[in-house]
């Protein structure tokens, strides 16, 4: 055999980023002669020069920000640097979308971000070079006079009676100075991590939809509304991750600065020191459940609708929870109790056949179950089981026209329906159902004899996932004590790894539960059980 005949050599088509400058110029000249768009090639040519120059621009900004951010430490520098990188890529992809949409000249667009950030870097460096270490202080003597306390007039001198009301002192539990100190550090790190993760979502979404926005397909108002409705779902996923990173960094900083050793010397154990962090974890778990039940369902549905508008997808206004009536292409009306899109199976289906002339019912067919079955020559046929048919006609009796009904039951009968894709809406998604809605849907499927194990796993996950904030906090405390000397950046890396491992375990056990290998309840709670047991072991063995 000839190898080239059996396996013909296919030429790999290069994209614009893989082409050399000479190839890009040749492609642009060819597109220009043929009348095709050539802005992408011109943009990519200049981008090959602007990206290396960005190293100097970002280094210039780094020098200025690094010199003015001494007190915040590595975590503050990391947050500022991440913010600058976000701004750089937002400007870069916005300029690219503007060039492709014809709003900006493509040879100039890649340099706009360098010009903007380069000017900001020069201004920051000049400001830092001319500034002093101490802030400018203005002496205002009249303010000191205003701040002097006014001597109070004694009640005894005034001669007025004094009434003293004694209120009983209630020893209510309240945070002490240590709780406030630890909680303040925790919240500062949590906010930095939360804002950084939300920023990643906004930037990635903006980069993905920039061509739609600048190309006139989507308006700014629709994009902002999409951000508004899509944010709760992303917040639902990043709160546990931000809590994990905040706990690791807070305990790590306390360990590195030997503050935990001082607390132990004062008789304060690790459990008492970490109590504010655990309480925050409980608060975040409650917040996750409230978001899931009160916010996510409606926000996810609206976000999906707006995303379909911007991308030009067909919009589906109804789903498996609210659609039980549908009209066919030829005028027949279908009513069903449950439709399983995975198995192409109806439960309690009624077919209303209307007459061609006039709006009247000619035939009504009902079946307890209708299944799509394979016939001869690979043909697919809808087969109805355990039903009946009523045909409505007219008859004349004693000069009056009356309705005549012919009733015919059947055990199995082929019926004419639309194709399966005609009845399918969006797939049943647990993210767009509340706990009660999903439980009701599972009950309807189970009553109709459908397979409900995958939905039972999703139902239990709605209860199990909110506890992840507490679980991650408990496992982060002893982990940070043993590795806290490595610094805040190390804690962020460890947090990312733990989050990835938890997410992998959640997907793995979810797949095992959906496949019937593990009980649905155990499959949903297994990641929490494993991580919780690990956290309990580490808490009992770490030095407290």
User: Helices 220-256 and 488-514: crossing angle, nearest 10°?
Assistant: 120
Structure tokens, 151: 């001597």
pLDDT of residue 478: 82
Strand, helix or coil for residue 217: coil
Residue pLDDT, tens place only, 407-416: 889 999 888 8
Quote helix, strand, coil % in the chain, to nearest 5.
60, 10, 25
pLDDT average, residue stretch 2-22: 75
pLDDT of residue 135: 40
pLDDT average, residue stretch 157-186: 71
Angle at Cα 523 formed by Cα 519 and Cα 525, nearest 5°?
120
Distance CA 235, CA 195 (A): 10
The domain ranges of the chain are 16-129, 325-423, 430-541
| pLDDT top residue among 52 and 86 | 52
pLDDT of residue 54: 87
Which of 47-61, 164-178, 215-229, 434-448 has the weakest average pLDDT?
A: 164-178
Tell me: pLDDT of 143 over 50.
no
| pLDDT top residue among 200 and 148 | 200
- Alpha helices by DSSP H, listed for 11-72, are 21-34, 39-67
Closest CA to 243 of 271, 282, 294: 282
Whole-angstrom CA distances from 142 to 135, 146, 348, 445 are: 21, 6, 86, 79
**By percentage, how much of the chain surpasses pLDDT 90?**
4
Residue pLDDT, tens place only, 518-529: 888 888 888 889
Q: How sure is the predictor about 130, in pLDDT bands with cuts at 50, 70 and 90?
A: low
Residue pLDDT, tens place only, 474-489: 888 887 777 656 655 6
pLDDT average, residue stretch 120-141: 62
| pLDDT top residue among 455 and 318 | 455
Tell me: pLDDT of 366 over 90.
yes
Closest CA to 241 of 201, 182, 184, 296: 201
Q: How sure is the predictor about 283, in pLDDT bands with cuts at 50, 70 and 90?
A: very high
How does the average pLDDT of the chain come out, rounded? 78
Residue pLDDT, tens place only, 84-118: 887 888 888 888 888 877 778 888 888 888 888 88
Q: Are 385 and 368 in contact (CB under 8 A)?
A: yes
Distance CA 75, CA 301 (A): 37
pLDDT of residue 387: 92
| pLDDT top residue among 218 and 110 | 110
């Amino acid at each position: 055999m000839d190898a080239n005949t059996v396996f013909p050599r296919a030429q790999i088509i290069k994209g614009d980023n893989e082409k050399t400058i000479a190839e890009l110029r040749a492609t642009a000249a060819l597109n220009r002669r043929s009348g095709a768009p050539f802005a992408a090639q011109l943009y990519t040519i200049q981008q090959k020069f602007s990206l290396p120059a960005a190293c100097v621009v970002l280094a210039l900004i780094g020098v200025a920000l690094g010199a003015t951010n001494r007190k915040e430490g590595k975590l503050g520098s990391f947050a500022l640097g991440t913010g600058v990188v976000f701004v750089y890529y937002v400007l870069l992809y916005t300029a690219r979308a503007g060039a492709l949409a014809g709003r900006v000249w493509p040879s100039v667009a890649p340099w706009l971000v360098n010009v903007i950030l380069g000017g900001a870097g020069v201004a920051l460096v000049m400001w830092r070079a001319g500034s002093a270490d101490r802030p400018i202080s203005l002496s205002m003597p009249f303010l000191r006079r205003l701040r002097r306390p006014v001597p109070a007039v004694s009640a005894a001198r005034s001669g007025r009676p004094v009434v003293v009301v004694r209120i009983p002192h209630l020893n209510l539990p309240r945070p002490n100075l240590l709780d406030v100190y630890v909680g303040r550090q925790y919240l500062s790190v949590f906010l930095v991590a939360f804002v950084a993760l939300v920023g990643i979502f906004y930037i990635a979404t903006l980069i993905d939809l920039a061509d739609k926005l600048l190309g006139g397909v989507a308006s700014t108002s629709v994009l902002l509304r999409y951000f508004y409705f899509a944010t709760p779902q992303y917040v639902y996923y990043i709160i546990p991750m931000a809590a994990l990173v905040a706990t690791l960094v807070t305990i790590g900083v306390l360990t590195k600065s030997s503050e935990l050793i001082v607390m132990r010397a004062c008789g304060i154990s690790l459990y008492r020191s970490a109590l504010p962090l655990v309480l925050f974890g409980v608060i975040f778990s409650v917040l996750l459940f409230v978001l899931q039940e009160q916010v996510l369902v409606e926000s996810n549905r609206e976000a999906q609708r707006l995303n379909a508008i911007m991308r030009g997808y067909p919009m589906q206004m109804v789903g498996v929870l609210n659609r039980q009536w549908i009209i066919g292409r030829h005028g027949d009306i279908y009513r069903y109790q449950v439709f399983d899109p995975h198995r192409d199976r109806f439960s309690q289906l009624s077919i209303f056949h209307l007459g061609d002339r006039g709006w009247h019912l000619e035939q009504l067919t009902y079946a307890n179950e209708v299944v799509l079955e394979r016939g001869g020559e690979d043909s697919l046929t809808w087969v109805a089981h355990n039903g009946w048919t009523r045909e409505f006609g007219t008859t004349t009796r004693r000069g009056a026209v009356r309705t005549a009904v012919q009733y015919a039951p059947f055990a199995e009968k082929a019926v004419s329906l639309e194709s399966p894709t005609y009845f399918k809406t969006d797939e049943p998604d647990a993210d767009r159902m509340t706990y009660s809605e999903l439980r009701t849907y599972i009950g309807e499927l189970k009553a109709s004899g459908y397979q409900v194990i995958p939905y039972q796993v999703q139902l239990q996950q709605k209860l199990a996932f909110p506890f992840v904030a507490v679980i991650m906090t408990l496992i982060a405390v002893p982990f940070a004590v043993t590795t806290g000397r490595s610094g805040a950046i190390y804690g962020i890396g460890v947090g990312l790894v733990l989050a990835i491992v938890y997410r992998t375990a959640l997907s793995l056990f979810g797949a095992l539960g959906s496949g019937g290998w593990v009980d649905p309840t155990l499959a949903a709670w297994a990641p929490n059980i494993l991580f919780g047991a690990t956290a309990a072991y580490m808490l009992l063995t770490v030095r407290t």
